[in-house]
Homo-oligomer: A and B are copies of this chain.
């Protein structure tokens, strides 16, 4: 069994590769829910959906969100009624949100609703929200506290970010199966996702980080930082805002208490020694570093990266 802690697009692309080289029935995806939001009374789970859409072969991969060939007729009509429509929900994407909202209003948990939606979209992999309880990522700027999507989409992730908080995290319980997946897997993989707003909200659910520390699974992260920049999104700026170097070493340090290995890009190979030399909690061996091509520019490269990650986890793919 393999458990994958997943954020948005980076996770979705990595998972495409993983599914190409590993049996899907052996994989559990644990998804961030901190970027869930409500628009027009509908419950939107952007990270869950982008993963589902990619795995269903329906994603608009160029745009990085939503469904390929989707239209925006409902959204455009909503502007007439005074709604903000900077969060671009396409017409078919709305159908997913309407379905999720309906399932939740009938009393299903987010886990159950996600399973229903995955089944309808023909995604055979288990996709679990990290929690069924409300957990919302908020970003503090000098000007105040913003909802995650308001900051990320509407403000285009403009910084500096002073703090990221996960509202509700203290009271959030891990969704059924999440801790079991982490403790019962041979490997736990952290996708190349933003450490602060994609992976951190997963780790913020009480019990998750402890399970990662205690699991017998090999825990392997793929660095989302390559050559001093983020592959996508504001991770580099967020590292800089904290006075940290934009490097895989900074990423490794964030996970140093539970990680076994990190996969970094060829361009960063010179950093392997400093990562291997990072201080570790008592009893933990030095971090292992795998150097490979982490840029997922094609299906072949996604599969190759997945193979390298599985090898780093001690599995022969």
Contact = CB atoms under 8 A, between A and B. Distances in A.
Contact of A98 (B78, B102, B116, B120): B78
A40 B102 contact: yes
A283 interface: no
Contact of A117 (B41, B74, B75, B81): B81
A94 interface: yes
A121 B78 CA distance: 11
Given A71-B71, A91-B71, A91-B91, A77 B96 contact: yes
A108 to B, nearest CB: 13
A158 to B, nearest CB: 28
Interface string A83-97: 100000011101110
Contacts of A117: 81
A78 B105 contact: no
A268 interface: no
A98 B74 contact: yes
A19 B116 CA distance: 49
Interface residues of A, number: 30
A70 interface: yes
Contacts of A41: 98, 101-102, 105
Interface string A59-86: 0000000000011011111101111000
Nearest to A78: B95
A80 B121 contact: yes
A64 to B, nearest CB: 20
A112 interface: no
Contacts of A76: 92
A249 B46 CA distance: 60
B101 A77 contact: no
Nearest to A122: B80
Nearest to A92: B77
Contacts of A98: 40-42, 74, 78
Contacts of A40: 98-99, 102
Contacts of A90: 73
Contact of A73 (B78, B83, B91): B91
11 contacts: A40-B99, A41-B102, A42-B98, A71-B71, A71-B73, A73-B92, A74-B74, A74-B98, A75-B95, A81-B116, A91-B91
Interface of A: 40-42, 70-71, 73-78, 80-83, 90-92, 94-96, 98-99, 101-102, 105, 116-117, 120-121
